[in-house]
Amino acid sequence: MERKKIAIVGVGLIGGSLAIQLHEKKLSSRLIGVEVNEEHAKKAMELELVDEIMSLEDAVGAAEVIVLAIPVDKVLSLLPAIMDKIDQQVVIDLGSTKRQSIELVKNHTKRGRYVATHPMWGTEYSGPQAAVRGAFENKAVIICNAEESDADALDWVKGMYKKIGMHLLEMEAKAHDLHAAYVSHISHITSFALANTVLEKEKEEDAIFELASAGFESTVRLAKSNPAMWVPIFMQNKENVLDVLKEHIAQLQRFKESIEKNDDTYLMKLIDDANKIRRILK
Amino acid sequence: MERKKIAIVGVGLIGGSLAIQLHEKKLSSRLIGVEVNEEHAKKAMELELVDEIMSLEDAVGAAEVIVLAIPVDKVLSLLPAIMDKIDQQVVIDLGSTKRQSIELVKNHTKRGRYVATHPMWGTEYSGPQAAVRGAFENKAVIICNAEESDADALDWVKGMYKKIGMHLLEMEAKAHDLHAAYVSHISHITSFALANTVLEKEKEEDAIFELASAGFESTVRLAKSNPAMWVPIFMQNKENVLDVLKEHIAQLQRFKESIEKNDDTYLMKLIDDANKIRRILK
């Protein structure tokens, strides 16, 4: 693949990790960072994640590919203006919700230059210092409403994701947002709520610290995730998230009732049912 | 430490992993397995987890130390009978709840020979084939109501746990069961309920399989855990578990309400609060 000048808007966990991969896989001839947080911008340069920092306007003018690695509310506020300014550049976003951003620019004259994607990778940390080598490898990336993108833009984006080791899936935005609620968004809400439960009930933090098992760490680690990223995701995917969250609360009520009523048989059945997740997660 | 003849009652994930450590750290002169599940007994011998399989009665007669690595309901049903039969042997149990077993034998003439412990280690798998090398290392073990055990029995058990790499904590059984509800039991309920939520709502299992991120796997992996182990834990720790579970449902309701009402500020606050878990889990 031909190397391109690539602007990464938002050089945090996701943008920074992608920058490392783009550089290592020789996909970029130059990496331009756009970063409103001055400390993050400085850190991104120190860590050599990008070659230079530019304003958004300059970056859009200078780059051939513009990658939006910013919270999904910021995608909505920046995407139309960026598309007003581009000529033949490719614009990619990496957000966890896809319906609203795609809807927003549906009738834009440059719609074809935009490729809406969701690489299924992240950690609970944030900022450029959280960027890691080898991110995205062997994970799935979803490309939404691919038929609305120009063939050349789509080809380049697919090639990029393949080269950094991801496997491609195509999906309509509506289906994407529904599945994302199940396999990602609800896990974060559960984990945030579990952290709040334990912090509320367990006043002896030393006890948590001493006793916390691997199981606890595993269920609660996502609770460290950045609110600036997650609040807009939950709000943009409101209907699906609420639907899954209501079901989750109902499932927890069943556990509560079975224990309250000393109903071993029902509790056993609930856990047996849960064990079926083994079919899916090895 | 002097090597002892040790009987392990229940050669599954926990008992099998302990057997490996006892052998490797030269704590056992002979390892006797007691296992009612014939397949497990056969497998435990094949894997050389124990030197021989005996009936419980023979094992109690032959061993100097008897380790109960069985579900907590089985601890309640076997412990008094075992204590009726012992002379100067040491009896240890490894269960996740401690109040009821300690209460049950409080006035037994051999109470001093019993040491009630809870090593904070496990995985979501079960059976002898799930036993792993190096288990328990760098984890906490809680010894409950230590003052009710004879000094020599307590010393041997403490020495054993230190030698397999655990750090010791002492706690009253009531406090243990409370903390265990927060840092272990609730995580399992959350995870079971999350698995049921996703299995109920997401009929396209292929989509889960394809899209499941590391975050999803991490919050849902405990849902593979064995119901025979967990049903009795939840029932024996009913009051504490229900208390934490009610709080957890209330916390989830707050997320639900903030999203329903489009209350970004409140949702942001809930997640900011959850982020405080960073103080405890690095």
Provide the ipTM: 0.93
Please check whether residues A160 and A200 belong to one and the same domain.
Answer: no
Please tell me which of the candidates B182, B196, B247 has its beta carbon nearest to residue A270. Answer: B196
Please check whether residues B180 and B67 belong to one and the same domain.
Answer: no
Scored b (16 or more CB within 10 A) or e, B74-95 reads: bbbebbeebbeebeebbbbbbb
Please tell me which of the candidates A121, A241, A273 has its beta carbon nearest to residue B199. Answer: A273
pTM to 2 decimals?
0.93
Cβ distance of B191 and A274 shorter than 8 Å: yes
Is A130 in the B-facing interface, judged by CB distances under 8 Å? Answer: no
Domain end position, chosen among B171, B193, B216: B171
Is A257 in the B-facing interface, judged by CB distances under 8 Å? Answer: no
Domain end position, chosen among B171, B203, B224: B171
pLDDT of residue B205: 67
Distance from CA of A86 to the nearest CA of B (A): 32
pLDDT of residue A103: 98
Is B279 in the A-facing interface, judged by CB distances under 8 Å? Answer: yes
Q: Angle of helix A186-201 relative to helix A227-236, nearest 10 degrees?
A: 120
Q: Residue B132 — very low, low, confident or very high, per pLDDT cuts 50/70/90?
A: very high
Q: Which of residues 218-237 of B touch A (CB under 8 A)?
A: 218-225, 227, 230-231, 234-235
Please check whether residues A76 and A208 belong to one and the same domain.
Answer: no
Please check whether residues A145 and A247 belong to one and the same domain.
Answer: no
What is the CB neighbour count within 10 angstroms for residue A279?
A: 11
Please check whether residues A192 and A80 belong to one and the same domain.
Answer: no
Please check whether residues B122 and B239 belong to one and the same domain.
Answer: no
What is the CB neighbour count within 10 angstroms for residue A256?
A: 18
Q: Residue B217 — very low, low, confident or very high, per pLDDT cuts 50/70/90?
A: confident
Please tell me which of the candidates B204, B222, B231 has its beta carbon nearest to residue A219. Answer: B222
Cβ distance of A213 and B244 shorter than 8 Å: no
When mean pLDDT is compared across A216-225, B70-79, B235-244, the lowest value belongs to A216-225
Q: Is the pLDDT of residue B113 over 80?
A: yes
Please check whether residues B180 and B257 belong to one and the same domain.
Answer: yes
Please check whether residues B160 and B147 belong to one and the same domain.
Answer: yes
- Chain A hits for B275, Cβ within 8 Å: 195, 223-225, 227
Please check whether residues B224 and B237 belong to one and the same domain.
Answer: yes
User: CA–CA separation, B130 vs B124, rounded Å?
Assistant: 9
Task: Report chain B's mean pLDDT, rounded to a whole number.
Answer: 95
Secondary structure (DSSP) of chain B: ---EEEEEE--SHHHHHHHHHHHHTT-EEEEEEE-SSHHHHHHHHHTTSSSEE--HHHHHHH-SEEEE-S-HHHHHHHHHHHHHH-SS-EEEE--S--HHHHHHTTT-TTGGGEEEEEE----S--SGGG--TTTTTT-EEEEESGGGS-HHHHHHHHHHHHHTT-EEEEE-HHHHHHHHIIIIIHHHHHHHHHHHHHHHH---HHHHHHH--HHHHHHHGGGGS-HHHHHHHHHHTHHHHHHHHHHHHHHHHHHHHHHHTT-HHHHHHHHHHHHGGGGT--
CATH code at B123?
A: 3.40.50.720
Domain end position, chosen among A147, A171, A195: A171
CATH code at A191?
A: 1.10.3660.10
Task: Give the number of domains in chain B.
Answer: 2
Percent share of chain B, pLDDT over 90:
89
- Chain A hits for B190, Cβ within 8 Å: 190, 194, 219, 252
Scored b (16 or more CB within 10 A) or e, A119-157 reads: bbbbbbbbbbebbeeebbeebbbbbbbbebbbeebbebb
Please check whether residues B116 and B246 belong to one and the same domain.
Answer: no
Q: Which domain range does residue B185 map to?
A: 176-279
Is A87 in the B-facing interface, judged by CB distances under 8 Å? Answer: no
Distance from CA of A13 to the nearest CA of B (A): 15
pLDDT of residue A205: 67
What are the residue ranges of helices labelled H in A136-224?
A: 151-163, 173-180, 186-201, 205-211, 214-220
Is A201 in the B-facing interface, judged by CB distances under 8 Å? Answer: yes
Cβ distance of B272 and A247 shorter than 8 Å: no
Is A206 in the B-facing interface, judged by CB distances under 8 Å? Answer: no
Is A278 in the B-facing interface, judged by CB distances under 8 Å? Answer: yes
Q: Per residue of chain A (282 residues), what is the pLDDT tens digit?
A: 889 999 999 999 999 999 999 999 999 999 999 999 999 999 999 999 999 999 999 999 999 999 999 999 999 999 999 999 999 999 999 999 999 999 999 999 999 999 999 999 999 999 999 999 999 999 999 999 999 999 999 999 999 999 999 999 999 999 999 999 998 999 999 999 999 999 987 777 677 777 777 788 889 999 999 999 999 999 999 999 999 999 999 999 999 999 999 999 999 999 999 999 998 887
- How many beta-carbon contacts under 8 Å exist across A and B? 304
Please check whether residues B180 and B156 belong to one and the same domain.
Answer: no
B114-135 average pLDDT score: 95
Please check whether residues B38 and B106 belong to one and the same domain.
Answer: yes
